[in-house]
């Protein structure tokens, strides 16, 4: 803790307020990281990924014909 931090804590306590501190950061407790990780894995191993190049070529060919 820096000295400025300690001074601020004392000033806040002197005014009668209570400070509540957040726990230290832990990626294991961060739900959104787990959700995004699952989505990335699904996207990576999704069966559609095998055919994306073929789908892209077909879409481009269709657009050329229009």
- Domain residues for the domain of 24 are 5-65
11: three-class secondary structure by DSSP: helix
Q: What confidence category does residue 65 fall into, taking pLDDT thresholds of 50, 70 and 90?
A: confident
Q: What is residue 1's predicted lDDT score, i.e. its pLDDT?
A: 55
Length of the chain: 66
Higher pLDDT, residue 28 or 60:
60
Comparing 3-7, 36-40, 48-52, the range with the smallest average pLDDT is: 48-52
> Comparing C-alpha atoms, which of 12, 37, 13 is closest to residue 27?
37
In the chain, the DSSP E strands lie at none
């Amino acid at each position: 803790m820096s000295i400025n931090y300690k001074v601020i804590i004392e000033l806040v306590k002197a005014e009668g307020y209570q400070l509540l501190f957040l726990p230290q950061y832990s990626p294991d407790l961060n739900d959104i990281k787990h959700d995004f990780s699952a989505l990335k894995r699904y996207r990576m191993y999704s069966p559609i990924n095998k055919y994306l190049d073929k789908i892209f070529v077909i879409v481009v060919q269709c657009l050329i014909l229009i």
